[in-house]
Amino acid sequence: MRLGAIFPHNEIGADPEAMKIWATAVEDLGYHHIMAFDHVLGAGTASRPGWRGYTSADSFHEVFVLFGYLAGLTTSTELVTGVLVLPQRQTALVAKQAAEVDILSKGRLRLGIGVGWNDVEYEALGQDFTTRGRRAEEQVEVLRALWAHPEITFQGRWHTIREAGINPRPVRGHIPVWFGGHSHATLRRVGRQGDGWLPLIEPGPQAEGMLRHIHQAAQEAGRNPRHIGIEIKVSLSAGSLDSRLSYVHHWRELGATHVTIETHGMGRTVHEHIAMLEEAAKTYQRQSW
């Protein structure tokens, strides 16, 4: 299983030097990838009593710009969006931005996408919240076509492209696309289109049932389910990595290929976050996953 670290967006602040220290330390510690969360706008809570989730007080760096910066600071660590809220964005622009990060990082971008939950963001960005799932499926088709070909012609429900393309394109002519989410429709999309799945649930009967849905959809699409990766997240706020070993082992038995460590809420300084990641890396190495 490949080991990743989640960028501590709330605590790291807006100091580029702190971001540099964190990212280079993560690579030096042997982490295979860096994952960053995505939100463009946070909701104000004064007029929204009972609001649950991120707010305008939470800090989120724009992921493509952040990864452009980190691409120049690292040499081997994969850069992963986990997850980019794709349907609230213009598809061709995402294709262009993702290709640019992939070029700057020499092929190290992995695009994790999701449909999101925050209708406030969708409204502010001028996109339809109610069709986000179906739109995302078409968006993935458009992204892959733009990455693979110098020019494309595409006519869909939400996209019209006539003999146009992006230049430059990704290093390999494609960028891996992973899906986050647990709805039945999302699981079907993972099976039909996804290079991987980003679950946020405990291993057990529910997870096994979701994997069956993914595998069935993959087989119906003529794909090999074994080629679909699974990335799990371990939050150290729920206990040490040692205390979460059973969780990781069970997911590994279900086919997990990646495990990513989250330190949000655990440290006040960048060095405290690095110290926790160092200890987690030692635990990981002892397990020989």
Kindly report, residue by residue over 241-276, the tens digit of the pLDDT: 888 889 999 999 999 999 999 999 888 899 999 999
How many Å apart are CA 102 and CA 281, to the nearest integer?
Answer: 26
Distances (CA, A) of 15 to 59, 132, 142, 188, 276: 12, 34, 36, 40, 20
Q: What is the pLDDT of residues 124-147, one digit of tens each?
A: 999 999 999 999 999 999 999 999
Q: Where are the domains of the chain?
A: 2-287
Q: What is the pLDDT of residues 143-177, one digit of tens each?
A: 999 999 999 999 999 999 999 999 999 999 999 99
How many Å apart are CA 152 and CA 118, to the nearest integer?
Answer: 32
Share of the chain above pLDDT 90, in %: 92
How many Å apart are CA 10 and CA 258, to the nearest integer?
Answer: 23
Q: What is the fold, at CATH topology level, of the domain defined by 2-287?
A: TIM Barrel (3.20.20)
Residue found by looking up tokens 């809570």 in the block: 45
pTM for the full predicted model: 0.96
SS3 235: strand
Average pLDDT, the chain: 96
Phi, psi (5° rounding) for residue 156?
-130, -165
Q: What is the pLDDT of residues 197-237, one digit of tens each?
A: 999 999 999 999 999 999 999 999 999 999 999 999 999 98
Whether the ω angle into residue 83 lies within 30 degrees of 0, i.e. cis, is yes
pLDDT at 289: 67
SS3 161: strand
Q: At what angle do helices 270-287 and 245-253 cross, to 10 degrees?
A: 50
Sign for the pseudo-dihedral over CA of 12, 18, 20, 24: negative
